[in-house]
Structure 1
Amino acid sequence: MDNNGQQRPADNSKEWKLIEKALLSAQAEQRTARRWGIFFKLLTFTYLIVVLALLRVPGGADRHASVSGEHAAIIEVNGPIAADQEASADAIVGALREAFDNPDVLGVILRINSPGGSPVQSGYVYDEIKRLKAERPDVPVYAVIVDLGASGAYYIAAAADEIYADKASLVGSIGVIGSGFGFTGAMEKFGVERRLYTSGEHKAFLDPFSPQKEDEKAFWESVLKVTHNQFIDQVKAGRGDRLADDPKLFSGLVWTGEQALEYGLIDGLGSSSYVARELLGTEELENYTFQPDPFQRLIERFGASFGQGVASFFSQQTVMLR
């Protein structure tokens, strides 16, 4: 202010700068809000388009309704064989039943790339193959081992009429394993006291924090031996006199495709296309592998991916490989 009570130009300039700064800040906030609004609208629109597209994809029993003409049915057995995995008994058995129900299927090819897994799940599939073959003996089942067909995966393959593999495939591992850890020494070293309360003499059986008991060790080994013998019996029933008379076959070792052929573990060297063309007389292959419901799969993947993406964006964490 000057002596007459009027505002100096400098003070007036400061006030206008503050007003201008506030207006620019408000405009910036509005632009940011509009951008986020557009982003989420586009995200929602894309999501709905994908959902609608997937809903048009046929699933379940009518997935192959549009397939015309005779063809070979491919069923993938990929990864660990377990109830909660892609290669579960439910998934494989469902695909097998769908293939056997189709009169245009000339034969079924199990394309195997698995280290094995649950003997129970493998046994379910083995038994179902035998049952379906008895109902429709005109539909042969071939197993084709890609990179690996070991343990429970070979258990399943043994139910097929014939088994094929590449010369470098790994085949076999006819054995059973049960493993664990013992931490009693480490607990003593660090002064950790184990407090375990049970009712039943062997309720803490195989507890890794308790000393191993010889009688329980012997019992567990007997359980593994019984399971191993069941495995051997099923392989012998499936392969018959094609197997070489060599105890090493059931020792848990694995062989290349060439070696497996010598031991009678497989019937020949060839791929899925070879089997379809040379044994089934067709070039047409149709994949019958079970596919999860696309809508449910999308929801699960979208929910997980979106949650991770938002968290990553706002926290600006580094992406980690694991």
Structure 2
Amino acid sequence: MGLRSWIKRTMGQTGPVVPVVRLHGVIAADQRPGRLNIEAVAPLLKRAFAVKSAPAVAIIINSPGGSAVQSRLISKRIRDLADENKKPVLVFVEDAAASGGYFIATAGDEIIADPSSIVGSIGVIFASFGFVETLKKVGVDRRVHTAGRNKSTLDPFLPEKPEDVERIKQMESEIHQVFIDWVKLRRGGRLKASDDQLFTGEFWSGVKGLELGLVDGLGDLHEVLRSRFGDKVELLPIAPKRGLLAFPRLGLAAFTGDIAATIEDRSIWARLGL
């Protein structure tokens, strides 16, 4: 807390303090800038919920999705801390809370979206490439030896096998059901459409999301918090701490890896037209 804030609070000139955690980026397990995962997010959540006097914790979501596992872990951590500290969680959607981003958003007691934001995309996707014809054209013979008949499932350099596709679809269905069950648990009777409409992987604007019951209101962080807690409400941004040992990544492998990750992230955002 700065000197000015301390003086204001001492003189009773301030309102309640609301911690704000911003979750921006693609959800993935690897530790890179712009990625969301439980390892990076958990310390921020812990600090936010540690503000005992706060009437609520605000979480800003801006994510097109990503890892199903990391999405569930982050969402569960939010709920565990909210229940433990008996604090309501207000989630604010900026550009997008889609797929895994929406999974995290449903951890909130309320979801407030911008009218033009993108919400939903309650589905699971698996994507890869096939290079079989490319190998033939360049005259390359690839040799693969495995122990376990399914070890080469969906190898991009081998012809696609129907049994591999069936196994992938079964796994996707199971993960999709986890997503559906969580949304139903968190949103309950607030959902206003059938499963056939809500859980197809389709995404909508914030306006349509309100109509479908995927969000609870339209607005933005500042106007909502002022209306709830008064004009003197203070926002306390909870940002990652920059350690002295946080050196930049060096070397060709790190450089090419960062480029590949950036391209992958852009492709995920692009699916939403963002």
Which of 226, 232, 236 is the aligned partner of 2:174?
226
User: Could you say which structure has the larger radius of gyration?
Assistant: 1
- TM-fit CA distance, 1:129: 1.5
The range that moved more, 276-285 or 199-208, is 276-285
Contact 1:151 1:174 in 2 (8 A): yes
Using the alignment, how far apart are the partners of 2:242 and 2:73 within structure 1?
20
One-letter amino acid matched to 1:258: V
In 2: Cα distance, 1:254 partner to 1:111 partner? 19
Q: RMSD of aligned C-alpha atoms?
A: 2.1
Superimposed CA distance per residue, residues 209-234 of structure 1 (whole angstroms, 9 cap, x where no aligned partner): 01111111101110011001101111
- 2:234 is aligned to 284
Matches within 5 A, 1:252-267: 252-267=201-216
One-letter code of the match for 1:104?
S
Equivalent pair of 2:94/2:114 in contact (CA under 8 Å): yes
Letter in 2 for 1:183: F
2:64 is the counterpart of 1:115? yes
Q: Normalized against structure 2, the TM-score is what? A: 0.81
Establish whether residue 249 from structure 1 lines up as the match of residue 162 from structure 2: no
Alignment of 1:1-322 (within 5 A): 70-83=16-29, 84-85=31-32, 86-137=35-86, 139-246=87-194, 247-281=196-230, 282-293=232-243, 295-297=244-246, 299-300=247-248
How far is the alpha carbon of 1:65 from its aligned partner?
9.2
Q: CA deviation at 1:253?
A: 1.0
State the identity %.
Answer: 38
Count of residues in Structure 1 that have an aligned counterpart in Structure 2: 238
> Equivalents in 2 of 1:102, 1:109: separation in Å?
12
Shift of 1:277: 1.3
2:2 and 2:97 map into 1 onto residues whose CA distance is 31
Would the alpha carbon gap of residues 65 and 206 (structure 1) be closer, same or farther in structure 2, given more than 3 Å must change? farther
Alpha-carbon deviation of 1:115? Answer: 0.7
CA distance in 2, matches of 1:145, 1:239: 16
Q: What is the alpha-carbon distance in structure 2 between the residues aligned to residue 280 and residue 177 of structure 1?
A: 40
SS in structure 2 of the partner of residue 74 of structure 1: strand
Letter in 2 for 1:109: A
Structure 2 counterpart of 1:276, which letter? L
Which amino acid in 1 is paired with 2:127?
Answer: S
Q: Distance in 2 between matches of 1:75 and 1:280?
A: 18
Deviation at 1:245, TM superposition (A): 2.6
Higher relative contact order (CA 8 A, sep 6+): 2
- Asked if structure 1 preserves the Cα contact closer than 8 Å seen for 2:19 and 2:51, the reply is no
CA distance in 2, matches of 1:107, 1:264: 22
Between the aligned partners of 1:184 and 1:280, the Cα distance in structure 2 is: 61
Q: Which ranges in structure 1 are unaligned for 5 or more consecutive residues? A: 1-63, 309-322
Q: Deviation per CA, 1:264-302: give whole Å up to 9, x if none.
A: 010001111123212344521011132332x233x427x
For the structure 1 residues 168 and 276, does the alpha-carbon distance in structure 2 shift closer, same or farther, using more than 3 Å as the test?
Answer: same
